Amino acid sequence: MDISDHARLIPISDESDGPINVFIHGYRSDPCDEALSVMTIQGRSLALDWKAGRFKDTALVAPISVALRALYRVAKIRKALAPWMLLVDAGIISVWEAAQFHLKRKKARWIGTGLRQLIREIPNATNHPINLIGHSLGTEIIVSTLMKEDWSANHVHDCVFLGGTASANRMGEELFSQIDGCVYNGYSKDDMILKAALGAGRCVGKRELTIEGQERIVNVDCSSFLPKTPPAVIAHHTAYWSEIDEILPLVWQTMPR
């Protein structure tokens, strides 16, 4: 399949000098959120628009979700569906949404295998350092492209993970051999969306990223400056993107300005 049928790069700013900054959204996020357009960052910025899905279609499958929730409560499927069901029972998400999330996670990894093709089409891309910034499922795209594609013709500098779903188990020296800067990991132990979606896995958005022998990792605990009141269960995860103009400089401490 042609990657251009599933993803495209949208210009946010077109400053000719400085790096190329590629912003990659996650599930339930607007690829060109207003916070991106007001952010002060040096260089040319683009947003990767990929078909990441939305929660908005929940109403179409409400009857199915209700039936599955009832089944869950009476049948022996608690172990198989937990911990997503912690949020399902609270009425925050639906079973259908949980399934969609996992499908989109697989798609994100596939999109990653074609990201270099899209960036190669940017004029003079080989003459500028490239920074990759991903939120939630967007981190899957970054990890996939750096682990599976050859970026030797480009100059990939920093990678920034914001509430990332990517697993540390999928990262190795291959990733760091393709960048000359650092990986900045913004995480929160209080991110209930990631806890529910991914359980106890080594998701980088829930904990510090550590790789034996690798010193080019900067971990930033974001729990103190993300929404924390009880109604903000989803906002605690999505604020990385909706408030990226404020949060990104706190995580990416060498962000070019």
pLDDT 10s digits, 134-163 = 999 999 999 999 999 999 999 999 999 999
Query: What's the average model confidence in pLDDT over 43-49?
Result: 96
Judged by average pLDDT, the poorest of 28-32, 108-112, 174-178, 227-231 is 227-231
How far is Cα 113 from Cα 100, in angstroms, rounded to an integer? Answer: 21
pTM equals: 0.85
Residues 82 and 206 in one domain: no
Residues 197 and 221 in one domain: yes
Structure confidence at residue 200 as a pLDDT band (50, 70, 90): very low
Residues 89 and 208 in one domain: no
Residues 152 and 29 in one domain: yes
Residues 62 and 181 in one domain: no
Residues 83 and 166 in one domain: no
Q: Is the pLDDT of residue 176 over 70?
A: yes
Q: What is the pLDDT, as a whole number, of residue 119? A: 95
Residues 44 and 66 in one domain: no
Query: Do 24 and 48 meet the contact criterion of CB atoms below 8 Å apart?
Result: yes
CATH at residue 147: 3.40.50
How far is Cα 69 from Cα 81, in angstroms, rounded to an integer? Answer: 10
Separation in Å, CA 109 to CA 76, 142, 171, 204, 239? 31, 8, 13, 15, 23
Q: What is the pLDDT, as a whole number, of residue 184? A: 98
Residues 114 and 141 in one domain: yes
- Sheet architecture: strand order including 129-135: 7-14, 44-50, 20-24, 129-135, 155-162, 183-187, 217-221
Residues 169 and 140 in one domain: yes
Number of domains in the chain: 2
Q: What is the pLDDT, as a whole number, of residue 58? A: 41
Structure confidence at residue 59 as a pLDDT band (50, 70, 90): very low
Structure confidence at residue 114 as a pLDDT band (50, 70, 90): very high
Query: Which is higher by pLDDT, 225 or 202?
Result: 225
Q: Range of 145's domain?
A: 3-55+100-251
Residue 198 lies in a domain: yes
Last residue of a domain, one of 94, 115, 142: 94
How many percent of the chain have pLDDT more than 90? 60
How far is Cα 240 from Cα 129, in angstroms, rounded to an integer? Answer: 24
For 199: left if phi > 0, alpha if psi spans -120 to 50, otherwise beta; the answer is left
